[in-house]
């Protein structure tokens, strides 16, 4: 069992710039050999997957990835373990660390994954919190690198300054992408994230006007207006995000990204999502390759 507790990925900036490029290079190299022979660096290793919310992509890509890497994944949904039913996160962290080599966690409160990483003695990977989704950003950067043959591109984020946006902001800063974020007032990314992006190399430009944001963009990225667990804010959010829908008119034949699942008719029109401009299936597949790159890279640390 790997006992290096510094190897967790709670937020994207747990990786250095150099680490990030190594992870993406490893991911691209493994993807290139996807139909050929694969080594299995994680043979005999096990991953615990703690999930408090539903998931299609994250769950299946991590489980499949562990199979491809030669390891095994144990999925632990909200009713499977004592977490959330009386056993605190720190006890779960220490017990699981005695069995498995990696823990991934999709939880509501970001502080829970921070606590998990603090008490676990194996690497903890954030699989989505209210604050961050670093694994998504790894796949997004891999997708952008494929699309633009590098990171010399301008991205416009249109929508909620949410978990996916915040991780993407750090990733854009680290990769050297130019990023403009358009959110309604009150739905901006946290100041802390914006300041941190500046420290990492490149603060995003922020606006409340989607048209301004996309003016010079090579690529447009959006995500749902009502994230998981926010259903009680639904009406208020739908009203606040009026005018932020990603339509064919706004896209104007440029590539479009969405982490998925999409709520057609809300943040994006059906026509936009189904158009040839949508990179979303490549992006979704890249979750698998990016995470395989991350795990193979972590195993080498």
Judged by CB under 6 A, the residue of 172, 259, 278, 294 near ligand CP is 259
CA distance 55 to 187: 24
The rounded Cα 208 to chain-centroid distance in angstroms is 23
CB 255 within 8 A of CB 277: yes
CB 177 within 8 A of CB 153: yes
Examine residue 11 and tell whether it contacts ligand NVA (CB under 6 A): no
3-state class of 299 per DSSP? helix
Judged by CB under 6 A, the residue of 78, 228, 240, 282 near ligand NVA is 228
Q: Which residues of 7-131 form beta strands (DSSP E)?
A: 46-51, 72-76, 102-106, 124-126
Judged by CB under 6 A, the residue of 104, 259, 288, 295 near ligand NVA is 259
The Cα-based distances of 69 to 57, 126, 293 in angstroms read 17, 19, 10
Judged by CB under 6 A, the residue of 11, 45, 58, 154 near ligand CP is 58
Which of 259, 289, 291, 299 is flagged as catalytic? 259
The site partner of 163 among ligand CP, ligand NVA, none (C-beta below 5 to 8 Å per kind) is ligand NVA
Taken in order 273, 278, 282, 284, is the CA torsion positive or negative?
negative
The question of whether 7 is a catalytic residue gets the answer no
Considering only residues 133 through 162, tell me which ones interact with ligand NVA, judged by CB under 6 A.
Answer: 162
Examine residue 56 and tell whether it contacts ligand CP (CB under 6 A): yes
Examine residue 197 and tell whether it contacts ligand NVA (CB under 6 A): no
Residue with tokens 């991780």: 167
Which of 59, 223, 237, 258 is flagged as catalytic? 223
Tell me which residues touch ligand NVA (CB under 6 A). Answer: 128, 162-164, 223-224, 227-228, 259
Return residues touching ligand CP (CB under 6 A): 55-58, 128, 136, 259-261
Residues identified as active-site? 106, 133, 136, 223, 259, 287
């Amino acid at each position: 069992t790997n006992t290096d507790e510094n190897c967790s990925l709670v937020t994207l900036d747990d990786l250095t710039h150099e680490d990030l490029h190594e992870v993406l290079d490893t991911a691209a190299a493994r993807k290139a050999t996807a139909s050929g022979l694969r080594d299995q660096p994680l043979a005999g290793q096990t991953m615990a997957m703690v999930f408090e919310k539903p998931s299609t992509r994250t769950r299946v890509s991590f489980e499949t990835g562990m199979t491809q890497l030669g390891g095994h994944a144990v999925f632990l949904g909200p009713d499977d373990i004592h977490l959330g039913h009386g056993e605190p996160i720190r006890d779960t962290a220490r017990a699981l660390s005695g069995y498995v080599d990696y823990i991934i966690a999709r939880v509501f409160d970001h502080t829970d994954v921070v606590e998990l990483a603090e008490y676990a003695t194996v690497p903890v990977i954030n699989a989505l919190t209210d604050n961050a989704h670093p694994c998504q950003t790894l796949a997004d950067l891999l997708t952008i690198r494929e699309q633009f043959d590098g990171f010399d591109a301008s991205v416009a984020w249109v929508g909620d300054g949410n978990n996916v946006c915040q991780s993407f902001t750090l990733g854009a800063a680290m990769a050297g992408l130019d990023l403009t974020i358009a959110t309604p007032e009150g739905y901006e990314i946290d100041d802390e994230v914006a300041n941190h992006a500046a420290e990492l190399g490149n603060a995003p430009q922020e606006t409340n006007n989607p048209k301004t944001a996309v003016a010079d963009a090579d690529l447009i990225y959006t995500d749902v207006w009502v994230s998981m667990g926010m259903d009680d804010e639904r009406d208020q959010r739908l009203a606040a995000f009026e005018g932020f829908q990603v339509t064919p008119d706004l896209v104007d034949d440029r590539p479009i990204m969405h982490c998925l699942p999409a709520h057609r008719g809300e943040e994006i029109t059906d026509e936009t999502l189904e158009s040839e401009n949508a990179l979303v299936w490549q992006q979704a597949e890249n979750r698998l390759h990016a995470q395989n790159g991350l795990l193979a890279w972590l195993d080498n640390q």
